[in-house]
Chains A and B, each alone.
Chain A
Amino acid sequence: MSSTIRVEHLARVEGHGGVTVELADGSIRRVQFDIFEGARLLEGLVRGRSCEDVSQFVSRICAICSVAHSLTSLKATEAAFGVRISPQTELLRDLLYRGESIQSHALHIFCLAVPDYLGYPSVLAMSADHPAAVEIGLRLKKLGNSIQETIGGRAVHPVNAVLGGFGKLPTEDRLISLGNDLERGLADCDAVVSLMASLAPAEFCHSDTVFAALRPPGDYGYYSGDEVVVVSGGRKESVSARDYRSLTNERAVPHSLAKHSMFRGRPFMVGSLARLAVNAEKLPDRAAQAMEQMHLAALSDNPMDNNKAQAVELILDIEHSLQTVKRLLSEGLKEEARAAVVPKAGTGTAITEAPRGSLVHSYTYDGEGRIVSADVITPTALNAASVEDHLRRTVEQSADKNPAALRKKLEMIVRAYDPCISCSVH
């Protein structure tokens, strides 16, 4: 007997996708993460554009990841031209990136993922019975947006980060106010840990997952660095930004406008859980304690743990951002000229960690600073094959193949990845 389990149009994710599972005589015939987001072909459309226009253009790949796209774009263009940005610019970009991560993780944890665990269809429905949790979630989400507005000039599609530096530096008053918001945010973190630790265990997919994430040279972070580490079982392997194609190996598949990636023939997972697997020893005390309280292992075999891993990063980013703001206030922001940008022919590649995982922008420019070719590889595309692998394991590991119960698990697996489907197709 054969049957099909379908999630026609996934809810509470960014963009348009679904799930198809076909069973025949108790065995799995097909598992698909269907992606039917329209193809905007933005890498093609950016050809011929001037280097100055590129970051604002590619930021439109995705709103929730717009800081990640802007900053990765600037990093790639600056790499192509050999531009060296100042330590202050590097620090402000790091802070801006953390602002996006706070907004994105708070949105995902509270508005998209947690309602499943507590049995609600949405955060709005949840707010009637859990007003305090929803209030904290929205407050933390707003905190991330405040950082993005203060440093980036806008919460969605930042405008203030430009080639070589920033348009205008934030005023001292705005930084003081941001510092106060961050203090308040830090006070909310205990409640985040308690909430995550109290959720019913979601133990329906165990896997010897391969993880990949950027290894930053300094603190646990998202913007600096050029080396990706792949963790497979006990083994670690390193891939440099310029060799990113050996990591991604993209190929087109019929049921998805997002291409699939494999590393040495195996799907791999990127995102918060992968970053913990690669960078756990960089975690500051508070985040490490939060992991213990949530019973989260650095090398997890449960993809659902990505939700908890996001909570760890949420805490870490609030704490780190507060330290940065305090430092900026005590040292004072220096008015400095943007680093000189002199276009030259060549290729620049940058890898950063978007909230959902590793993000690559690679551009080839002509001598006048116009794009000859562009390649953008997004975390949700990198994750697509891994999502399918974990969906398959979920079906295999579920003794009860009741379609409704199984459908809910499949949706929760996809949601745990926090997919950004418009990114994945772009």
Chain B
Amino acid sequence: MAMSRPTVGIFGLTGCAGDQLVILNCEDQLLDVVRLLDVRDFLMASSANDTECELDVALVEGAVLSRRDQERLQRIRERSKILVAVGTCAVWGGVAAMHDGNGRAKLMEEVYGELGSTYDTAPARALSEVVKVDLNLTGCPIEKDQFLSAVTQLLNGDPPLYPEHPVCAECRMRENNCLLLENGEVCCGPLTVAGCQARCPELRVPCVGCRGPANDSNFPSALAMFTEKGIAREAVARKLRTFAPGAVQLVTGEKS
């Protein structure tokens, strides 16, 4: 259903604020976007926020790393019709979720000494582990056009369309030499979802998998390519675990 000037909230849980920054980086479109959206609650950009109103759309970045994050997210869910997870931390847990939670208390103690056990802190979780998520915009960070097309689609009531093919497809379209097949580098392009125009391999830098796994990847065949190049499965799993721990099992069939 199309929406006319929907009420919107933009929120950050724990993370680097990179996805909110990408929104603010749409310098050429920003003023138009806020004419089309009724942004009611955006703490990073405004000190006059309606923190109680109902929202047609909530955009939430970051992962859940504290009781405070969890309570904020639950409250955002209650007041929103559509909740969008924005960025790899929100969708997959992101870099902080690389840790499996074991030994977290010990790490807290190493960093903070005896105060370590007194802070509000918990292992990182993706939003979908805490509340129902209606739409995922992945990427570390998201690309500007992902945000802008999501806004357009929501306004027009169009179903969201996102690539499900891997970064490799975009890389091939740009006629780059293959870092994996030609150089034997651990490039996660075959496993990672497209949408970035193959930013890293385009610059001769191997893909680190920051956007999470591609649904349309043929994982067994991609893994066979790595094996053929003498790259251990563990080396690939290690890369994937950095941004999307949940991807490891999806791709390799093994528990992360």
Chain A residues engaging chain B, CB cutoff 8 angstroms? 9, 11-16, 36-45, 53, 56-57, 60-64, 66, 107, 111, 115, 121-125, 127, 134, 138-139, 141-142, 145, 153-157, 159-160, 162, 166-168, 252-254, 257, 259, 411, 422
B87 to chain A, nearest CB (A): 10
Q: Is the CB of A44 within 8 A of B111?
A: yes
A125 to B42, CA, bound (A): 13
Complex A-B: 12 CB contacts under 8 Å: A11-B49, A38-B121, A42-B96, A44-B99, A45-B99, A62-B16, A111-B24, A123-B45, A160-B205, A168-B202, A257-B112, A422-B16
A179 to B207, CA, bound (A): 30
A159 to B16, CA, bound (A): 16
Chain B, 164-211, CB within 8 A of any chain A CB: 199-200, 202-205, 208, 210
Q: Is the CB of B111 within 8 A of A43?
A: yes
Q: Mark B134-156, 1 if CB is under 8 A from A, else 0.
A: 00000011000000000000000
Which residues on the A side are within 8 Å of B1 (C-beta)? Answer: none
| The 5 nearest A-B residue pairs measured at CB | A38-B65, A63-B18, A38-B14, A121-B48, A122-B46
Which residues on the A side are within 8 Å of B24 (C-beta)? Answer: 107, 111, 141
Task: Give the interface segment out of B78-86, B102-110, B217-225.
Answer: B102-110
The answer to whether residues A39 and B119 also contact, given A124-B39, A156-B22 and a CB cut-off of 8 A, is: yes
With A43-B111, A134-B31 given, name 5 new contacts (CB 8 A): A12-B44, A14-B44, A160-B205, A167-B205, A252-B116
Which label, helix, strand, loop or mixed, suits the secondary structure of the B interface? mixed
Closest to A64 in B: B21
Which residues on the B side are within 8 Å of A43 (C-beta)? Answer: 111
Which residues on the A side are within 8 Å of B203 (C-beta)? Answer: 153, 159-160, 166-168
The answer to whether residues A168 and B204 also contact, given A57-B242, A157-B18 and a CB cut-off of 8 A, is: yes
Q: Is the CB of B141 within 8 A of A11?
A: no
A134 to B96, CA, bound (A): 35
Which residues on the A side are within 8 Å of B25 (C-beta)? Answer: 141-142, 145, 155-156
Q: Is the CB of B140 within 8 A of A12?
A: no
Closest to B204 in A: A167
Q: Please tell me if B52 contacts chain A, counting CB pairs below 8 Å.
A: no
A411 to B65, CA, bound (A): 26
The answer to whether residues A14 and B65 also contact, given A139-B27, A252-B113 and a CB cut-off of 8 A, is: no
B222 to chain A, nearest CB (A): 20
A15 to B22, CA, bound (A): 15
Which residues on the A side are within 8 Å of B46 (C-beta)? Answer: 11-12, 121-122, 124-125
Which residues on the B side are within 8 Å of A154 (C-beta)? Answer: 199
Q: Is the CB of B141 within 8 A of A157?
A: yes
